[in-house]
Chains A and B, each alone.
Chain A
Amino acid sequence: GQNIDQPTEMTATEGAIVQINCTYQTSGFNGLFWYQQHAGEAPTFLSYNVLDGLEEKGRFSSFLSRSKGYSYLLLKELQMKDSASYLCAVLPLNTGFQKLVFGTGTRLLVSP
């Protein structure tokens, strides 16, 4: 089975940098996703890591260490609109790229 852990809630101030960690234990691994979800809205894709290392996309970066079962999402120059839930999701091996396994999400609150 899979076990995905991420902090329940984090707070940060506008303009700052925040790192949201995600650890996972899985019997097989095909990649890790980060999604952003504003309250009442659809989860939206942020990033996908399958190899070790850092993927950068503007203000958002995602890091993966497969050997450590660890990922983080880094948000720079925080804006108020970044207040949302951030969902870590693993794509297990042998599922035919069919079913994401999600963590419970980290609620980020950005204050002025």
Chain B
Amino acid sequence: EAGVTQFPSHSVIEKGQTVTLRCDPISGHDNLYWYRRVMGKEIKFLLHFVKESKQDESGMPNNRFLAERTGGTYSTLKVQPAELEDSGVYFCASSQVTGATEAFFGQGTRLTVV
């Protein structure tokens, strides 16, 4: 069974540009989470989908970030326009049921804004 996959693995963009990150959760997992790790800091929660609905987006930094999960399958996280401080590793995770004790993480997308 395929794990959580993220695309791209690396992205380097200029300040002001737009970038879209994609996450494919494990098939059948209704819960999808986005996290971010900024250099030298801890991994921080961004938001949580249950199927196509946003359950909690309290961790989203600002309105330059837009997450979608149309159809309740894969999810995208768009940053527009990107700023230098958006650089970091963006992780996606999925779990089968809400309250599951184990969430499976993808390997992350390393975003560098220059």
Contacts and interface: CB of A to CB of B under 8 A. Distances in A.
Interface residues of B, number: 27
A44 B107 CA distance: 10
B98 A99 contact: no
B17 to A, nearest CB: 24
Nearest to A49: B101
Contacts of A103: 42
Interface in A1-24: 4
A4 B35 CA distance: 17
Contact of A96 (B98, B105, B106, B107): B98
Interface of B: 3-4, 33, 35, 40-45, 48, 55-56, 58-59, 91, 98-108
Given A42-B107, A99-B56, 14 more contacts: A31-B101, A43-B43, A87-B43, A96-B55, A97-B98, A98-B45, A98-B56, A98-B98, A99-B48, A100-B43, A100-B45, A101-B45, A102-B43, A102-B44
